[in-house]
Amino acid sequence: MRLEPQSPHVLGYAFVAFGAAVAAFFWFIMDNVPLTALGIGMAVVGSSLAITPLSPVPSATVRRMLEGSLLNIEALLEELGASLKGYYVPKADGSVQVYVPMGKGSAASVAGSASASTSANSGSNGNGNADADDDASANANSGADDCSNSGSSAPPLDAPVDGLITKVGGMQYLVIFPPASALMKNLPPDDDQAGAADLEGAISEAVVEEAGLADSLRVTESGQSVTVEMSSPKSKAGAGRVRHVMGSLEAGIAAAVAARARGRAVRVVSEEDVKGRKRKVTLALC
């Protein structure tokens, strides 16, 4: 027998109806309290069943789709030689985009492959000097200011998107739609009070409930820093360049949610796997 997807809800409604009937019968006719309570209990359990949502797409499938979306980004970053940490910037339409500074270490062909609307003046940025030393870039990223990247800073929230590579304030940025960008549309509309108050709830909703990438998480804020501690992160994707530039899949989703909730650019400063089943992600609000 094949069960229809909505059968738990039908079962729940049946329990509610049957439980109510049993309770009424034993209360009014039989005057029996325990069996009346049993009927009420059945109705309670049935109502809980009825309002529990089904998952039309299994969490494992959602997870694999998100992991697969990172493969193209990995190839793009590899091709362009992007190695600086990106900024998660919230946009007016509710989406979040990642602006990756195309500083030292990016391919020399970046300036030539930029869209027609970008400036050809790349002298000040030093993009003509191709330097594939990722270690040097990584060391530059560990400076005192978590929001700076070898001289670049977080782009403004109204930064334009003129093609794949856009120029903002004399600095070229590679603009990427992260996997979490689409998940942002599932979040409730922006509400200044609600969004500001429950950052942990918003990140948990996206990472744990929607994407099924962790069992639970805890968020603590300290000044301009946000620490997310995830329990049992499940994604194995986001190795290499993607992980360095955008963070792991879980960290990227947390950064996107934080950017949208706080209305500021966010950067994944560090990730640390603790005891194998916990991951500590540090975000910086720029």
Partner 1 sequence: MDKNSLSNLTLASFVAATVWALAALKEARIDVYISMFTLEYFVCLAVFRPRRRFFDLPAAALFGAFAVIVSLRVIEVLYG
Beta carbon of residue 199, minimum distance to partner 1 (angstroms, whole number): 17
Q: Whats the size of the chain, residue-wise? A: 286
Draw the binding track, 20-59, toward partner 1 (x: CB under 8 A; -: no contact): -------x-----xx-xxx-xxx-xx-xxx-xxx-x---x
Residues 160 to 219 in contact with partner 1, rule: CB under 8 A: 209
Which C-beta is closer to partner 1: that of 126 or that of 201?
A: 201
Beta carbon of residue 33, minimum distance to partner 1 (angstroms, whole number): 5
Task: Report CA Rg, the chain.
Answer: 25
Which C-beta is closer to partner 1: that of 44 or that of 197?
A: 44
Alpha carbon distance 254, 40 (integer Å): 42
Beta carbon of residue 259, minimum distance to partner 1 (angstroms, whole number): 24
- CB of 70 closer than 8 Å to CB of 242: yes
Which C-beta is closer to partner 1: that of 10 or that of 132?
A: 10
Which C-beta is closer to partner 1: that of 119 or that of 231?
A: 231
**How many CA atoms does the CB half-sphere of 87 hold within 13 Å?**
26
Tokens of 40: 């009420």
Beta carbon of residue 215, minimum distance to partner 1 (angstroms, whole number): 9
- CB of 64 closer than 8 Å to CB of 212: no
| 107 part of the interface to partner 1, by CB under 8 A | no
Alpha carbon distance 275, 258 (integer Å): 25
In sequence order, which residues have a C-beta less than 8 Å from that of residue 115 and are 6 or more positions away?
A: 162, 163, 164, 165, 166
Beta carbon of residue 171, minimum distance to partner 1 (angstroms, whole number): 42
Beta carbon of residue 54, minimum distance to partner 1 (angstroms, whole number): 9
Cα–Cα–Cα angle for 59, 65, 68, nearest 5°?
140
Alpha carbon distance 45, 68 (integer Å): 39
Beta carbon of residue 49, minimum distance to partner 1 (angstroms, whole number): 6
* Number of chain residues interacting with partner 1 (CB under 8 A): 20
Which C-beta is closer to partner 1: that of 37 or that of 157?
A: 37
DSSP string, 204-245: HIIIIIIS---SEEEEEEETTEEEEEEES-------THHHHH
Which C-beta is closer to partner 1: that of 45 or that of 161?
A: 45
Which C-beta is closer to partner 1: that of 45 or that of 187?
A: 45
What does the binding site for partner 1 look like in residue numbers (CB under 8 A)?
A: 27, 33-34, 36-38, 40-42, 44-45, 47-49, 51-53, 55, 59, 209
